[in-house]
Structure 1
Amino acid sequence: MTSTLTNFIPSVLDLADTALRPLDNIHDLCGAFPLMQQLRSHLTSESDFTSRIERMRVEGYHLIGAYDSGVLVALAGYRLQENLVYGAFLYVDDLVTAEAHRGGQWGARLLQALERLARASGCARLVLDTGLANARAQRFYFREGLLTGAMRFQKQFDTP
């Protein structure tokens, strides 16, 4: 059976790295909250985080965790998408490694797994955003073979 953007669901075997696995239940999400909060400091509580993830899952959001001796040390959030600019692509929403484990190749392993997922899903590319001032992340992405391809413009609105 051929995979498409709408029916491809990764499994541990698809990841080809035994330290990585999908985070797909409430226990996994609760365990991932402290690490995700290092990247997304605006997340105020575990329940806020898990409810956001549940809403995002409706739009195809997935999380993969990286474990070192049973401890979650890095995670990546992604979704398979399609648009008229890129065609089919895998968008990386979140990528974070615990401070104490940075330099241990965890981010690189997650990006490699996401690339395998993207290719297996028929995607033409992997896409992510990073802040213009985040030079450290930019250097990491360049080392991992990602290149700049666009500049994003945005307008922020006040919300009630």
Structure 2
Amino acid sequence: MNKSYQIRSVKTPTEVQQCWEVVSLLRPHLNKSNWIALAEEMMQQEQYFIDGIFDNDQFVAFAGYRYMTTLHTGNFIYIDDLCTLESHRGKGLASLLLEHVKSIAIANNKDAVALDTDFTNNGAQKVYLKSGFKLAALHLLCDVRK
């Protein structure tokens, strides 16, 4: 990575809005207004944090994560969202964000960092495995809205 990128915490409604271009790549089922409402609700009620990378004041990558405790994993950080603009992929930004979240987990005496990924997202899986993640479980989902 030639350029030195800085990771910043996203906290204000304006900053949440700036995330939309990247978020829409990862979560195309959302629209901008429900993304903003959901993100703000999650940040206020569920300890959801967003840390992002900006390049010339453009939001180009982000990690959305939360602190969790389960009997299976213990006290850990769960990464809900991780995405980079297509124009900035291949520059190590996802790896930088993963290392950033792992350092937060270590600083807060967490047991692990966990995430889920789509079975077909081979590019992201390579990044995760290279960053020290391992296949540890199979996540199953039953959509009850239908």
| TM-score, normalisation: structure 1 | 0.84
**1:30 has 2:17 as partner:** yes
Shift of 1:157: 1.6
CA-to-aligned-CA distance 1:110-144 (integer Å, 9 cap, x gap): 00110010111111100000011222211111111
**1:55 has 2:41 as partner:** yes
- Structure 1, unaligned runs of 5 or more: 1-16
Shift of 1:35: 1.1
* Matching residue's letter, 2:61: A
What is the percent sequence identity of the aligned residues? Answer: 30
Instruction: For 1:69 and 1:37, locate their aligned partners in 2 and report how far apart those are by CA, in whole Å.
Output: 20
Q: Which residue of 1 aligns with 2:67?
A: 80
Q: Which residue of 2 aligns with 1:8?
A: none
Q: Aligned to 1:50, what secondary structure does the other structure show? A: helix
* Matching residue's letter, 1:77: G
Q: How many residues align?
A: 142
Shift of 1:69: 2.9
Map residues 10-159 of structure 1 onto 2, 5 A cutoff: 19-44=6-31, 46-57=32-43, 58-159=45-146
Moved more, 128-137 or 112-121: 128-137
Q: Aligned to 1:27, what secondary structure does the other structure show? A: helix
CA-to-aligned-CA distance 1:53-78 (integer Å, 9 cap, x gap): 12212111010011223321100000
| TM-score, normalisation: structure 2 | 0.92
- Structure 2, unaligned runs of 5 or more: none
Moved over 4 A (4+): none
Higher relative contact order (CA 8 A, sep 6+): 1
Q: Aligned to 1:130, what secondary structure does the other structure show? A: coil
Cα RMSD of the aligned pairs, angstroms, is: 1.4
